[in-house]
């Protein structure tokens, strides 16, 4: 299992991508399988850290929360951009202390935070576990820190360990 | 050309595509209007999240109804855009921060005391 | 009926995206700094990709998806390389 298929999920998604791009037929299935197997063997040389998904059943909840949040902040940021008076809005940097240490979790959190309009991940210090965040509409610093920590980080901690 | 398309599908496709294009345009207007780089950095995410999602959903609706089979190429593009936009924005933000710090700008926060190994 | 709904909404969407592309091009020219230009270039890539997708719906051809995918890929690689360049002054370390 581990020698032939070191990363079963990666192999499956590569095969799915191949079939999506080339159309489904027996020949493409064989070729795609061969390429997916070879590519996932190559991944072994890179030795990525293997995340342990303990609470994988929480993943749909995370995705739903993120999609809804991105939609809401899209509307909010669009309003702010179109507002006539730009000087009323404050934007600035905040520092968020994080409990999350797992590299995979941090990567997911970074993607969530950055792809949400209104917040952008700027810098992370792994020695201090502090995150520097730029917030577009900085009304209340505590609100944003609480949002990151209780809405995303809590769930990611539950999923990963 | 699209005579066999039902009206509801045309309306839905039109709405979704216009929503996506509108959000993208608002994002780029932000790129034009906002005063500083770090604020401008937030603007294109509108286009790369729901701007892209709107147009892709519209296209999924259209091609599914037209050819009466689901077209999944859009899912591939959506997955790709979702995975790559945060990476580029993060890299750009860090590059801008680095440049501002080496120039001794006071508008950006100082670096964390012990630096060097960053994740993300 | 449905053909004209589709025609007009797609046309308006193309015009909106065209304006968006013009704005990003203006921002690329004006700057003021290198990171602004790169940010606008990234937005330009996304907008062109979206315009191609709308074009694909309009012509009822799935061929444009591959083109859109390639543009998205190129945009990603270009932006990452440029951001890396800003950081250290060299692309390959």
Domain residue limits, chain B: 7-102
Instruction: Please indicate whether, in this complex, the C-beta atoms of B32 and C23 are within 8 angstroms of each other.
Output: yes
Give the chain B residue whose CA is nearest to the CA of C63: B73
Domain residue limits, chain C: 2-88
Instruction: Please indicate whether, in this complex, the C-beta atoms of A81 and B33 are within 8 angstroms of each other.
Output: yes
Nearest Cβ partner for B32 among C27, C49, C68: C27
Q: Tens of pLDDT along A72-130? A: 888 888 888 888 777 777 888 888 888 888 888 888 888 888 888 888 888 888 788 88
**C-alpha atoms less than 13 angstroms from C-alpha of C34 in its C-beta half-sphere:** 15
Alpha helices in C31-62 (DSSP H): 34-59
Closest approach of chain A CAs to the CA of B61, in angstroms? 17
Nearest to A108 by CA among B119, B96, B92: B119
Could you tell me the pLDDT band of residue A140, with boundaries at 50, 70 and 90?
A: confident
Q: Tens of pLDDT along B26-46? A: 999 988 888 888 888 888 888
Closest approach of chain B CAs to the CA of A86, in angstroms? 8
Q: Are C42 and B40 in contact (CB under 8 A)?
A: no
- Domains of chain A (ranges; CATH) run 8-46 (no CATH), 56-160 (3.30.1370)
Give dist(CA B47, CA B25) in Å, integer: 7
Quote the mean pLDDT of chain A.
Answer: 81
Instruction: Please indicate whether, in this complex, the C-beta atoms of B66 and C40 are within 8 angstroms of each other.
Output: no
Q: Tens of pLDDT along C3-55? A: 888 888 889 999 999 999 999 999 999 878 888 898 999 999 999 999 999 99
Strand ranges inside chain C, DSSP E: none
Q: How many residues does chain C have?
A: 93
**SS3 state at A96:** strand
Highest mean pLDDT among B15-24, B77-86, C84-93: B15-24
Give dist(CA C42, CA C47) in Å, integer: 9
Backbone angles phi, psi at A94, to 5 degrees: -130, 155
Q: What is the pLDDT of residue A147?
A: 83
Q: What ipTM did this prediction achieve?
A: 0.85
Q: What is the pLDDT of residue C24?
A: 92
Is B55's Cβ below 8 Å from some Cβ in A?
A: no
If contacts are CB pairs under 8 Å, which of residues 13-42 in chain B contact chain C? 13-15, 17-18, 20-22, 24-25, 27-29, 31-32, 37, 40-41
CA angle A81, A83, A85 (to 5 degrees): 115
């Amino acid at each position: 299992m581990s020698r032939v298929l070191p990363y079963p999920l990666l192999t499956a998604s590569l095969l799915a991508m191949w079939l999506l791009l080339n159309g489904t037929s027996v020949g493409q299935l064989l070729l795609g399988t061969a390429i997916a197997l070879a590519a996932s063997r190559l991944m072994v040389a890179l030795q990525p850290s293997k995340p342990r998904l303990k609470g994988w059943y929480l993943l749909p909840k995370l995705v739903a929360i993120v999609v809804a949040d991105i939609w809401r902040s899209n509307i909010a940021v669009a309003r702010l951009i179109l507002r006539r008076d730009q000087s009323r809005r404050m934007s600035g940097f905040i520092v968020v202390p994080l409990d999350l240490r797992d590299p995979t979790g941090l990567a997911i959190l970074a993607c969530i935070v950055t792809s949400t309009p209104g917040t952008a991940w700027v810098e992370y210090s792994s020695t201090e576990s502090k995150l520097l965040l730029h917030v577009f509409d900085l009304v209340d610093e505590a609100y944003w820190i609480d949002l990151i920590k209780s809405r995303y980080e809590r769930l990611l901690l539950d999923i990963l360990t | 050309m699209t005579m066999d398309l039902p009206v509801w599908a045309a309306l839905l496709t039109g709405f979704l595509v216009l929503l996506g294009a509108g959000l993208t345009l608002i994002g780029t207007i932000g790129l034009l209007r906002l005063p500083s780089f770090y604020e401008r950095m937030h603007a294109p995410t509108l286009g790369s999240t729901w701007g892209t999602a709107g147009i892709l959903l519209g296209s999924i609706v259209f091609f599914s109804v037209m050819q009466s089979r689901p077209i999944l190429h859009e899912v591939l593009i959506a997955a790709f855009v979702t995975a790559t936009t945060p990476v580029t924005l993060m890299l750009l933000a860090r590059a801008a921060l680095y440049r501002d710090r080496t120039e001794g700008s006071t508008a950006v926060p100082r670096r964390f005391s012990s630096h060097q190994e960053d994740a993300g | 009926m449905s053909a004209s709904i589709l025609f007009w909404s797609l046309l308006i969407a193309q015009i909106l995206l065209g304006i968006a592309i013009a704005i990003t091009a203006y921002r690329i020219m004006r700057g003021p700094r290198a990171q602004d230009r790169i940010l606008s270039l990234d937005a330009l890539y996304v907008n062109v990709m979206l315009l191609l997708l709308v074009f694909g719906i309009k012509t009822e051809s799935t061929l444009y998806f591959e083109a859109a995918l390639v543009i998205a890929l190129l945009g990603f690689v270009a932006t990452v390389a440029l951001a890396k360049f800003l950081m250290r002054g060299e692309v390959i370390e």
